[in-house]
Amino acid sequence: MHEYQSRLLTAFPEFAQALEEELGAFDLHILVTDSSHAWGMGSCSQCKDPDDCDPDGEPSLCGAKLDACDTTMGAGETFPCGMGSSGRRCQLAEGRRYITNEDEDLVGTLTCLARVGYGVASPQTFDAILAALDHPLIPSGVTFNGPGDCNEGFLRDDALLLLVIIQNTYEHWSLGGPYQWRKALYAVKGGDEDAVVALAITTDNDISPNLCSPGEPAGATNRMRLFMEEQLKHGTMASICAPAYGSFFQEVAAQLAPLCDQFIPR
């Protein structure tokens, strides 16, 4: 993700603007999932704020004050670590692990949370998403959205669910497959197919022509594409090799307001 993270961060102001223009009247919750169990700094020089960690400490904890949620997959990420990350504890209103309308600087807060870095661990994308929504494919007995849980209050019955997935690899590591992911996500929203919207910005090597390997034939099937284009009613695939991502966010945000207006919780 090294070469793509800067494009992602550049697109955040456009994403924030699109959300405010399309959904300004709605109550937003925005959570960045921790897509692995790992937390660690290979070098404590990656620590950006001595109030949060010790730049002269010992890897991999570097003196950081962590809680169980920081190392639990599916919890909202508030302390990105590792190469290219924010390297500090992001401050959110009321100590939550997700953004709400009470966070005044949407772009700044989202940039801090989503600057997750690169090279820490292979992403278990759908394992993390489904855990964060209390619908893992293999029940663990751990919940995230109840009283005292890591993501307490994030998931609501009366809200649409928007997934934004950014990764530069095929979807190899998550349990199950496109059908199981679809079934679990729709279950979160009571079976309402109009209540789940998703955007994946990822490699396009599986189609031809493509941006990631111009002139090369299509590669193996990507489970992410099968999920977005064949399983979801409102799923969008976009190339991570595109020069900019702002238009992707704007197009998806434009779908949300009409769906919100017609959404009736079940």
Q: What is the pLDDT along the chain (266 residues), one digit of tens a residue?
A: 777 888 888 888 888 888 778 777 778 899 999 788 889 999 999 999 999 999 999 999 999 999 999 999 999 999 999 888 999 999 999 999 999 999 989 889 999 998 988 866 678 999 999 999 999 999 989 999 999 999 999 999 989 999 999 999 999 899 999 999 999 999 999 999 999 999 999 999 999 999 999 999 999 999 999 999 999 999 999 999 999 999 998 899 888 888 988 887 76
Give the DSSP H/E element, type plus range, for residue 188: helix 178-188
Q: What is the CATH number of the domain that holds 215?
A: 3.40.50
10 Å Cβ neighbour count for 193?
12
CB 18 within 8 Å of CB 11: no
Triad 31, 34, 35: Cα angle to 5°: 120
Residue 62 in any domain: the answer is no
Q: Is 116 helix (H, G, I), strand (E, B) or coil?
A: strand
Task: Give this prediction's pTM.
Answer: 0.93
Predicted pLDDT at 20: 78
Look at the chain and report how many structural domains it folds into: 1
Predicted pLDDT at 4: 85
139 token code pair: 């029940």
d(C-alpha 218, C-alpha 169), whole Å: 15
221 token code pair: 């099937």
Residue 90 in any domain: the answer is yes
10 Å Cβ neighbour count for 155?
21
Residue 54 in any domain: the answer is no
In terms of residue numbers, what domain contains 238? 2-39+73-262
Residue 152 in any domain: the answer is yes
Predicted pLDDT at 199: 96
In order of 21, 67, 256, 265, the CA distances from 26 in angstroms are 11, 31, 11, 15
CB 79 within 8 Å of CB 70: yes
Cα torsion 106, 132, 73, 149: sign: positive
Residue 208 in any domain: the answer is yes
d(C-alpha 65, C-alpha 140), whole Å: 26
Residue 190 in any domain: the answer is yes
Predicted pLDDT at 120: 61
Cα torsion 9, 77, 30, 27: sign: negative
Residue 65 in any domain: the answer is no
Q: DSSP letter for 228, please.
A: I
Residue 117 in any domain: the answer is yes
d(C-alpha 169, C-alpha 240), whole Å: 10
145 token code pair: 């959205």
Alpha-carbon radius of gyration of the chain = 18
